[in-house]
Structure 1
Amino acid sequence: MSDKQKGLVQACIHVFPNAAHRFCVKHLHSNFSTAGFKGEALRRALWAAAKATTPAEFVRKMEEMAAIDLDAAKWFDDKPPSQWSRAYFSTHSKCDMLLNNICECFNGKILDAREKPIIEMMELLRLYMMQRMQQNRDMARQKWKEYMYCPRIIERVQKRMDKATQCFPFKSNDDLYEVSCPYGDHYAVNIKEQTCSCRRWELTGIPCPHAIAALWLAQKDPMLYVSSWYTVETYLKSYEGAICPMNGEGNWEKTDVDGPKPPLYGKIAGRPKKQRRRTADEEQQAKEKKAKKMSRVGQVIRCKYCL
């Protein structure tokens, strides 16, 4: 998943030819706003299309966007929906993420390291990752040992169970069910294949409310149908490897290879920027937040000791 910067599409095709490439919808919306399509209605329409899980629902949401602004809907003509809408995501990865928050969190953690020289920066990153991986291992072994699945997944299943109470399942045979929802929609559930026509089960590996309603009618535990990717055992396997400790620089082996040299560019005038550049919508949000604050202009300030 990338933030749609220039050159990343070509780079991902070259470096990761067999991987699916998605765009962060927040960054996509920033480009959408920069192109002149602003407003809360268009923002909601974009997110509704991105969150659609079936092609039919995606088409309806895009038609609703076109009803608001036809040019806004045409802006997406050269952007494959498989890169930004759940309706066309592959079900192989069991991941329906629309944001690259993982990258943003990592960038937030390494702000101090990014200002250092190359070798010191890499050493700080290595030390951070070594500790972080061990912290995750300790957390899973000590706090999650009584769980089969990770706690957040259990919370997600519980929320879907709450929604499933509003669904009405009808049995076709031992594996096939039709589920009616409060808003009049009907969905086909196949317990054996672990599929639902809403595609949420296949996208995430977690039974959707329709599937849970069908499983309840079949007198089966929905937790037994959660993907094995979410078990604590799988979580520990993902952190099985470790970054090995290293000696200090004074004990490094001497080689004939020249050390890294600083980049060949001159010093830019002014104080170096440490904060990242805000997007257009973030600037607007900051202005709105500032406008809500009370102004102190003209207010008489008195010392509490001199009253």
Structure 2
Amino acid sequence: MEKDPKTWSRALFQTGRCCDAIENGFSESFNAVIVDARKNPIMTMLEELRLYVMDKIYNMKLKGQQWGNHIFPEIRDKFEVRGATDAYELDLERKTCSCRLWQLNRYGCAHSIASISFLNRYVEAYVDKNFSTPIFRKAYNYRIAPMNSGDMWPETNYTPPLPPINRRMPGRPATKRKKSTIENTGTHKVSKAGKKIRCSICKEIGHNKATFPQRRPQTLNVKKQKKQKFCVKQNAGQGSISEPQQHEEVEMTPI
């Protein structure tokens, strides 16, 4: 309750705003577009933003010209819409419902749609005029005039804009928007369950180099046996295959 409930509680929202939610999706979308422009100096950044807005207005103006005009007829009806356990008073003429959702978003609620469908009328005829094509065209009726590049601008006596103080923030600088906790991050991790580990020293399966000293005696015996077999083969080449020659024991240290 330290925050003003009018800024976050839907029950206290002002009607006639054509919006029933508080979100920063519009600013986040715009911020994602200018992510590269933000890295430039302020004059270059503003120039790129001007070009982007100019192109955006032109494209939206062409899009609005492809739509037809919508006519909003005169409406005179009142209903009491009942559900399983509740009931709401609805006025189609004033476009109001006691649930207040229609007054907030200005394009209707579930109770208004049920009443309009009961009369076999078009739902679009009850949408607020702010969502109509003429209002959309009016929003993009202006234009941003073209201009010359910076080297052709006239000189002034004003103080030139200085770059901001370079302050390095802790951690790696972020260039992407922060995702919500309900968004899918898209990460995928492969499980290592059932995978056999191999020692990087003796190349045996079942242990790693961290537990290799515990298996050192067994490994040394195997290497001694290999050394003894090698001596037998050499003696066999000289014509003696009765018994392997005796050799001095040599201490072997794993690397």
Matches of 2:183 and 2:143, distance apart in 1: 43
Query: 1:189-226 CA distances to partner (integer Å, 9 max, x unpaired)?
Result: 11222211111111111122212322344454332221
AA of the residue aligned to 2:2: D
**Match among 173, 190, 205 for residue 273 of structure 1:** 173
1:230 lines up with 2:122 in the alignment: no
Question: What is the aligned counterpart of 2:19 among 82, 85, 95?
Answer: 95
2:79 corresponds to: 177
Look up the SS of the partner of 2:80 in the other structure. Answer: strand
| 3-state SS in 2 of match to 1:111 | coil
| Counterparts of residues 150-161 of structure 1 (less than 5 Å) | none
Distance in 2 (alpha carbons) for counterparts of 1:210 and 1:282 = 32
From 245, 257, 260, give the equivalent of 2:158.
257
Q: TM-score, normalised by structure 2?
A: 0.65
User: Do structure 1's residue 136 and structure 2's residue 60 form an aligned pair?
Assistant: yes
Identity of aligned residues (%): 31
**Matched length:** 192
**CA distance in 2: counterparts of 1:193 and 1:264, whole angstroms:** 55
Amino acid at match of 1:209: A
Letter in 2 for 1:196: C
Among residues 31, 36, 42, which one is paired with 1:107 in the alignment?
31
In 1, Cα distance between equivalents of 2:55 and 2:139:
15
Q: What root-mean-square deviation, in Å, do the aligned CA atoms of Structure 1 and Structure 2 show?
A: 3.2
Unaligned runs of 5+ in 1: 1-76, 150-173, 301-307
Question: Structure 2 CA distance, aligned partners of 1:213 and 1:82?
Answer: 30
- 1:91–1:241 distance in 2 versus 1, CA, 3 Å: same
Letter in 2 for 1:126: R
Deviates more, 1:104-113 or 1:197-206: 197-206
Listed as ranges, the gaps of 5+ residues in structure 2 are 198-255
Corresponding residue for 2:190?
Answer: 294
Structure with larger Rg: 2
Answer yes or no: is 1:148 the counterpart of 2:70: yes
State how far apart, in whole Å, the 2-side matches of 1:271 and 1:209 are.
48
Larger helix fraction of residues: 1
Aligned letter for 1:94?
Answer: C
What TM-score, normalized by structure 1, do the two folds share? 0.55
Partners of 2:15 and 2:104 within 8 A in 1: yes
- 1:194 paired with 2:95, answer yes
